[in-house]
Structure 1
Amino acid sequence: MKLSVISFITLVISSSIVKFDLAPQDPLAESISRGSEIYEDFCMQCHLPDGKGVENVFPPLAKSDYLMNNIEASIRGVKFGQNDEIVVNGKTYNGFMQPMGLDDDEIADVMNYVTNSWGNKNKDMITTEAVAAIKK
């Protein structure tokens, strides 16, 4: 009987202890994770799961010189749509991309994802504030 009471008390105490996650969080890694889901929902249909796009139709995001050298213009394209001729990895693209209707925080997350995927590496986190500051 004593063992049952002690076991019960131990169970009650252990189940009521609040666990705190004291491990430091990596804001960029968290943003990239959220951005991956946004990419799947809004971007993957054209730019494909591997980010390679469709040659002469949808520009690649994978190892993209345009993306990495024109981050502000790329953000503007996601935010407001794209209807200008661009040159990506030496190939000209002159298509139209609708604005995705994403909030500034979603744009920051998806941009952090694409600028850190498929051979791209961006050490500077794109913030919601930076996206909000970009105007048409």
Structure 2
Amino acid sequence: MKYLTIVYLGLVLGLVMLFFQDPELEESIERGSEIYADFCVTCHMPNGEGVAHTFPPLANSDYLKLNREASIRGIKYGQDGELIVNGVTYNNTMAPLGLEDEEVADVMNFILNSWGNSSETKVTLEEVAIITE
């Protein structure tokens, strides 16, 4: 009986996840993971933990949650100067990556939904396109 209950709950949870996931977001996250592997992993590390006092963590990042537009701008145009992430000050330069707006949206969706981060709002191409330097 206990086994059947566990199987039943697992099936219900699986169906709920299947029907309520945004397939466009899932595809964007998948593309974003590839972009992250190509452009971001060297500094921010495979698990988004960054390098202490050099490259800020993306994992469980309060900065990402509180500074969505600035985060998009940083990926789109690069970033220079001080920023505080999880109470630690970082002062380094991130060169522009040369990504298209759709790639910026995809990598943001990946980052915002990985390593303890969670975003209920998908970053869209339109949102990235209106952000200027």
TM range (shorter): 0.7 to 0.9
State the number of aligned residues: 114
Please name the residue that 2:26 is paired with. 29
What is the one-letter code of the residue matched to 1:116?
Answer: N
Percent pairwise identity: 58
Looking at structure 1, the residues matched to 127 and 44 of structure 2 have their Cα atoms a distance apart, in angstroms, of 24
- What's 2:36 paired with? 39
Give the partner amino acid of 1:125.
K
Q: Does 1:74 align with 2:74?
A: no
Offset of residue 84 of structure 1: 2.1
Instruction: Give 5+ residue unaligned stretches, structure 2.
Output: 1-18
What does residue 9 of structure 1 align with? none
TM-score by length of 2: 0.83
CA-based RMSD: 1.4
CA distance in 1, matches of 2:72, 2:22: 25
Q: Does 1:90 align with 2:87?
A: yes
**SS of the residue 1:96 aligns to:** strand
Distance 1:62 1:25 in 2: 22
TM-score, structure 1 normalization: 0.81
Higher helix share: 2
Q: Distance in 1 between matches of 2:128 and 2:93?
A: 21
